[in-house]
Structure 1
Amino acid sequence: MDNSETLSPSTRLAVVLAGALQGVLCYAITWYIGYAKLPTDTLWLMCVIPATVVMTTTMSLAVTSFRKPFLWLALGMTGAAVAAMGGWLKWSVAGLESWSIRDEMLVFGFHLLLMTLFILPWLQRRLDPVPTTSFYSDFYQRNWHNALTLLVIFVSNGLFWLVLFLWAELFELIGIRFFDRLFFHSDGFISVATGVVSASAAVLTRVQVRLLLALQNLLTLIATGLLPLMAALALLFIGALPFVGFETISARISAAGLLTTLALLLLFLVTIVWHPQRQTLPYYAPLRGMIRLAVAIVPAYPVLAGWALWLRISQYGWSPERLYGVLITIVALVWAVGFCASVLIQRREPQQIHTYVIPATGLLSLVFLMLIHTPVLDPWRISVASHMARYQTGKITADRVSLHMLSHAGRKGREALQTLQNDPQFMSNPKRAREVKGLLAGSPRGAGQMTATMLEKAIQLAPGMPRPDSALWQAMLREQYRFESCSRAQRNCLLMPLDLNADGKPEAVLYQFTDRAIMAYTHTGTGWQHVGDGWTMPEGLTREELDRALQQGKVKPVVKPWADIEIFGERVDMLYGSGASLRRP
């Protein structure tokens, strides 16, 4: 591993300068994007910035000498790979809103961080002048060092900005706002300062290896105390499962996530405690046997998680979350099977298998992360294809097609919406046709094309109610998002007259069964106005029961027994809780 002798003062200075240059570059690109009014999915933001940030991070944590050609080759290949993945992301998110693109960029950035951590140990060992330890021991230590370096960088940035916040607030007390504007309203300062602090923290961790080793030992001791607890949990759960039945797992939506988390946490703690310098676990024989038994049965958890995921996929198809779950479960299964083999086959020297299992698991994770940002495992491509295939094969009806999901699936989702637009069966429903046309036209809710005529056709009138004037439909269009689910075919929206204020003129009351809501409109001197809402329909009330109640005259207004309050002629609306109904005068 690197130490203060292998990282020269000139190299340290170069790393800090590279961090400052990265900050300047990020600021210049973001300024140019704003100046040129470029779209959110510009190549500058989705390719150039991620590629340069990853290259700078990799260089800061791996460089030992700038004279090594392999360093520049590795940095060039890394930058090209990140730029290519960013280019695919730009192609995929075409048509999304800017806030959705930002969410995708955050996910992309997190994945790049994980990729960097997985690839760094291999690159660092290749650039090490003279590796002095075995491969597995060196691989293990470098992973620890990189993870702790990342922790130090985050803590350093947090403390740095906390000090600057205190600085700015103190001077603002005496009327000087210069520092507040400089520190927190100057994009250039923020970018450069973050780059310099991060690079300085990286240099600090590379020249102070002993301090990191002390922190590593402390965390290892904590893991040593937690491992028996996790092993007991794993054994107790797997022992209780046959008595409660496997069906309980399939009934829980989060079952796969919980099972995989348990397996990964147990394997993670075992990896920390059973490090390369330790041939046996540091416990008494009973605890050691319990932990070995837990490691032997740990593959059952990824298998159960995979089964639970497969049930969900067979019922509802693929989604990005389910794809991520499957990939994580595969990684956990490989890791678990390897450790299980180490305690069953190589009982005396399990480290011989650990030497291959842990690096292989890291490489598998790296491959999956890279493929997610290519056409091979693109989550939205797979999800959209699965959803459309379920509709086209008749597994789901047209009403169950998720237009919301398709509208947030980027280019592939838009192509699917265009396919539905050309499907006569799907477009035969006016509500679906309106939503598809609205989404393709850029309306976020898909109801941008709704008109008063469409609304009148979608809402049924109660028996005996005269046809309302067009002014009522126009008033309702002000909140058209509340009527998107109204469909005459589904009979889920009913409009009826009911005098709610005892003035002899009936109000228009709409019952919306999809949202279980009631809306009241009254006619004033300026036209129809939305005056009230009810959000608690009687439990279990259906449209058929409401029709029967209307026929029997069981739908009527009820005067509230508790009054409002007036102070100096100004009325205060009182909202009474359920307790008021128990003490009526």
Structure 2
Amino acid sequence: MAATARAADRVPNVFLTRLVVALIQAVGLYLLAEAATKPMVWPATVPELFTPLLMVFSLVPLLILLGVGQIARRPLALWVLVAIVIVAGLGYHAEARLPGPVPADGNPHGLSRLIGGHFDLVYLAGGLFIAHILVVDAVLERRWRPAYPRHFDTAWKQGMQAILVAVFVGVFWLILSLGGGLFALLKITFFERLIAHDWFAIPATTLALSCAVHVTDVQPALIRGVRALALTLFSWLLPVLVVIVVGFLGSLPFLSLQPLWHTHFAAGLLLMTAALLIFLINCCYQDGAAERTSVAAKRWAGTVGALVLLPLVALAAWALGLRVGQYGWNVSRVMAAAVTIGLAAYTLGYLIAIIRAPNPLGPAWLRRLEVTNHLTAHLALILLLALLTPVADPARLMVADQMGRLRAGTLPPEKLDLIALRYDGARWGQKAVSDLRAATDSRWSAAQQMTLHTNAATVLSNENRYQTQAILQQPRSPADLIRTLKFYPVGRTLPPGFVDAYLASDHARNGNGCTAADRGPCNAFLITLRPDLPEAIIMQDSDFSGVLYQQDEAGAWQLTGHLDLGSWPGCAAVRDALQKGLITTTPHAWPDIIAGGVRLTIMPPSDHCPGERP
């Protein structure tokens, strides 16, 4: 506490230091932003240098802003140097892992690319937050494991600071945007153009952030008051969640687990529930003081909550194992495995705390969870470091697993997710897909090899993930489309030339309608609009979008309209009538309106199914 007090006595110097750091950060980020604008100049032309610099200037100054009022200059400088080395190294890997050459028609370097490259910047920021708390407390108490009340105070104080600072900066920019809008009402656009410039926006943001950190740091009573209120409110949610979880677990012996597995998101939901339980247990326990845990209902809920962590995490691990056994590893499953390991450590530690406690409901309630919280903080840093380096990079692990399954013959080539490899597998995935363009295997048929080579070439030639997905999901032949169609009235067949015309239409080539393989079965209804016209066809896919095709004078099929389906896909009477061809036509109630050469159609209100109450 003495070190903190001495730092607080130097408030003017601390504030000046924070302002200087904010200005240095602003200059660095501005120069990087300018270098990355077209035409790019050094260091943006060297991605392996640009990305580490960007990450260092984005994250490390925040450590200085927080630490300058907490610990002395020498240990802070040492910690900052270590953080620079770590962040720069991880930034180099974040860039080196990305695939292929950089597109020349855009700016690929920046926060959007880092965040889009899965998780590097966001998760690194979280890891630095945890590490900063551990370093600050260790320095202040001069030991590896400081007193738990110190850990609690530092962690929750800085957590509340981070929330308040983020809100302050957000409101700050909301005010500036409102100011620009107000002046724009008077045709004065200077202010609106001013705040859009990088040379204004970046320094304004860093200075606002610095001021917010300083204000929240020199008024600890404000932070403690907000923290106490938040923890008290959250702690009363623990009994509610425990009752829900106990009810859920209690119903499992009487029900099958199959509905749980069929959701395909059971593991994620169970892990989120376990994490929320741990959070609320700590909201109840706080720093372990007797007055914090005087309510018996909270102690009961905390003890039961710690016990039910075991089945929750076990079920999550089981669900994850089933998915991995079926489909192998992907990026999200590797991340889920890391979260499961961390939560399993909490679960084990909390169980030991209950077992070793003289009285789990007494004054020393769950005292040993303090050790668990400290150790799992270090475990979280180890897991993050592994995930953010080649050691356990989720993209590398996914590619290695999927290619291993392909080589072992447990994964047929047509089931290989080339899109995930190309767009989620970083440079390892791109190389794997590139190798698959000419890959051969005696166990594959000629058709399988040709399809694999064609799909791999298609995936590599497109930068847009969703466009590639639409292309790969299109049927490759009329026979493929016919297999997905149900044609009505029963007994009739598709007219000659219709399937070829449908596949050649812009509607189908853009991946709409029945051309997308994930749409499921499609319906084709042969109808008569007028006695003097040839029969028309309504194509309706499983997403309930409908289009009308008619023959022109030459007999060629053309897309002539889109159907306003309203609520009819859910009406059994409508489906039965269309399937049997029992339809009538009626003229439109209102004429169309032509405005500026554009036809506007007046649509009546949506009808309800027969017998359904509006």
Q: Tell me the residue number matched to 2:184.
A: 172
Alignment of 1:531 with 2:556, yes or no, is: no
How far residue 191 of structure 1 moved from its aligned partner, in angstroms, is 0.7
After the TM superposition, which of the residue ranges 42-51 and 65-74 deviates more from structure 2?
Answer: 65-74
How far residue 256 of structure 1 moved from its aligned partner, in angstroms, is 2.0
TM alignment of 1:503-542, pairs within 5 A? 520=549, 522-523=551-552, 529-532=558-561
Alignment of 1:308 with 2:319, yes or no, is: yes
Separation in 1, partners of 2:451, 2:289:
66
Question: Given the superposition, is the C-alpha separation of residues 376 and 564 from structure 1 closer, same or farther in structure 2, using an over 3 Å criterion?
Answer: farther
Is this contact kept in 1: 2:115–2:121, CA < 8 A? Answer: no
1:241 aligned to which of 214, 235, 252:
252
TM alignment of 1:415-430, pairs within 5 A? 415-424=431-440, 425=444, 428=447
TM-score of the two chains, using structure 2 as the length reference: 0.78
Separation in 2, partners of 1:571, 1:134:
72
CA deviation string 1:211-244 (max 9, x = no partner): 2111222122213322332333333333333233
Alignment of 1:57 with 2:62, yes or no, is: yes
Structure 2 residue identity aligned to 1:112: L
Question: Given the superposition, is the C-alpha separation of residues 224 and 201 from structure 1 closer, same or farther in structure 2, using an over 3 Å criterion?
Answer: same
Is this contact kept in 2: 1:520–1:533, CA < 8 A? Answer: no
Structure 2 residue identity aligned to 1:137: P
2:173 aligned to which of 153, 161, 168:
161
Is this contact kept in 1: 2:60–2:84, CA < 8 A? Answer: yes
2:392 aligned to which of 372, 377, 395:
377
SS in 1 for 2:200: helix
Separation in 2, partners of 1:239, 1:495:
48
Q: CA RMSD in A?
A: 4.5
After the TM superposition, which of the residue ranges 20-29 and 254-263 deviates more from structure 2?
Answer: 254-263
After the TM superposition, which of the residue ranges 341-350 and 115-124 deviates more from structure 2?
Answer: 341-350
Is this contact kept in 2: 1:20–1:195, CA < 8 A? Answer: yes
Q: Tell me the residue number matched to 2:585.
A: 560
Alignment of 1:255 with 2:240, yes or no, is: no
Alignment of 1:480 with 2:509, yes or no, is: yes
2:213 aligned to which of 199, 202, 206:
202
CA deviation string 1:459-495 (max 9, x = no partner): 679979666899x58953685243899699xx99999
Q: Tell me the residue number matched to 2:576.
A: none
Is this contact kept in 2: 1:421–1:427, CA < 8 A? Answer: no
CA deviation string 1:63-113 (max 9, x = no partner): 259974443332222122122222222222214985984542573221122
Separation in 2, partners of 1:469, 1:302:
51
Structure 2 residue identity aligned to 1:328: V
Structure 2 residue identity aligned to 1:107: F
Give the paired residue count.
Answer: 566
2:407 aligned to which of 392, 396, 400:
392
Q: Tell me the residue number matched to 2:487.
A: none
CA deviation string 1:245-301 (max 9, x = no partner): 444433332322222222222222222322334147634546534532332342221
Separation in 2, partners of 1:5, 1:146:
16
Question: Given the superposition, is the C-alpha separation of residues 479 and 427 from structure 1 closer, same or farther in structure 2, using an over 3 Å criterion?
Answer: farther
Is this contact kept in 1: 2:98–2:117, CA < 8 A? Answer: no
Question: Given the superposition, is the C-alpha separation of residues 229 and 559 from structure 1 closer, same or farther in structure 2, using an over 3 Å criterion?
Answer: closer
How far residue 329 of structure 1 moved from its aligned partner, in angstroms, is 1.7
TM alignment of 1:20-419, pairs within 5 A? 20-37=23-40, 42-43=47-48, 45-64=50-69, 68-95=73-100, 101=113, 103-105=115-117, 107-128=119-140, 134-183=146-195, 185-279=196-290, 282-285=293-296, 288-348=299-359, 349=364, 353-409=368-424, 410-419=426-435
Q: Tell me the residue number matched to 1:439.
A: 459
SS in 2 for 1:428: helix
CA deviation string 1:145-188 (max 9, x = no partner): 110110121121122123223332333333322111112x1122
SS in 2 for 1:175: coil
Question: Given the superposition, is the C-alpha separation of residues 284 and 174 from structure 1 closer, same or farther in structure 2, using an over 3 Å criterion?
Answer: closer
Separation in 2, partners of 1:47, 1:24:
16
Is this contact kept in 1: 2:436–2:452, CA < 8 A? Answer: no
Is this contact kept in 2: 1:255–1:308, CA < 8 A? Answer: yes
Separation in 1, partners of 2:453, 2:394:
27
How far residue 332 of structure 1 moved from its aligned partner, in angstroms, is 1.3
Is this contact kept in 1: 2:538–2:548, CA < 8 A? Answer: yes
Is this contact kept in 2: 1:493–1:510, CA < 8 A? Answer: yes
Structure 1 residue identity aligned to 2:511: R
Question: Given the superposition, is the C-alpha separation of residues 434 and 199 from structure 1 closer, same or farther in structure 2, using an over 3 Å criterion?
Answer: same
Separation in 2, partners of 1:575, 1:136:
67
Is this contact kept in 1: 2:181–2:192, CA < 8 A? Answer: yes
Separation in 2, partners of 1:134, 1:246:
44
TM alignment of 1:482-501, pairs within 5 A? 482=511
What are the ranges of 5 or more consecutive residues in structure 2 without an aligned counterpart?
484-491, 571-578
SS in 1 for 2:119: helix
SS in 2 for 1:531: strand
TM-score of the two chains, using structure 1 as the length reference: 0.81
Structure 2 residue identity aligned to 1:383: M
User: Which of structures 1 and 2 has the larger relative contact order (alpha carbons within 8 angstroms, sep 6+)?
Assistant: 1
How far residue 120 of structure 1 moved from its aligned partner, in angstroms, is 0.8
Separation in 1, partners of 2:601, 2:557:
24
After the TM superposition, which of the residue ranges 422-431 and 388-397 deviates more from structure 2?
Answer: 422-431
Structure 2 residue identity aligned to 1:86: G
CA deviation string 1:400-447 (max 9, x = no partner): 222222231222222222232223447735655443222222363349
Separation in 2, partners of 1:411, 1:319:
15
Question: Given the superposition, is the C-alpha separation of residues 351 and 431 from structure 1 closer, same or farther in structure 2, using an over 3 Å criterion?
Answer: closer
Structure 2 residue identity aligned to 1:14: T
Separation in 1, partners of 2:544, 2:438:
30
Is this contact kept in 1: 2:354–2:366, CA < 8 A? Answer: no
